[in-house]
Amino acid sequence: MSIEVNGTSYATDENGYLVNLEEWTEDVAKKLADAEEIEMTEEHWNLVKFLRSYYDEYQIAPAVKVLTKAIANEKGMDKKEASEFLYQLFPKGPALQACKVAGLPKPTGCV
């Protein structure tokens, strides 16, 4: 499988995740977000960039808990508000959908 962005083809896996992490660009992200019916706002970009830098540092996508903690700290929210905020941005689940847009491999959870 693959997606077309600005005339270039990018390989994706059977679930629509980008195969090569380093091929990611903001245009690719927009295309991936379109497929998920997500309109990218500044908050979406912030989260996507957080995911990418976390992956870069730790070689793994963060647990949802890491995301909610980071958002709670940054925005002065409690845990529940941070979770709700995340689901507003990525309704199908922050981990699965946000990772896809960020060009990370499909999170395998803990198994």
Positions marked catalytic: 110
| Strand duo 2-5 + 8-11: pairing | antiparallel
Q: How far is the CB of 25 from another protein (least distance, A)?
A: 25
Asked if 3 interacts with another protein (CB under 8 A), we say no
Window of 4-12, 23-31, 40-48, 91-99 that interacts with another protein by CB under 8 A: 91-99
Reduced to 3 states, what is the DSSP secondary structure of residue 4? strand
Asked if 84 interacts with another protein (CB under 8 A), we say yes
Q: Tell me, residue by residue from 45 to 74, as one string, x for binding to another protein by CB under 8 A and - for no binding.
A: ------------xxxx-xxxxx--xx----
Asked if 110 interacts with another protein (CB under 8 A), we say yes
CA distance from start to end of the chain? 25
Residue 55 neighbours by CB under 8 Å, 6+ apart: 21, 61, 62, 102, 104
> Do residues 58 and 77 make contact, with C-beta atoms less than 8 angstroms apart?
no
Q: Which residues share a beta bridge with 4?
A: 9
The residues that touch another protein, with contacts defined as CB under 8 A, are 57-60, 62-66, 69-70, 79-80, 83-84, 87, 92-93, 95-96, 107-111
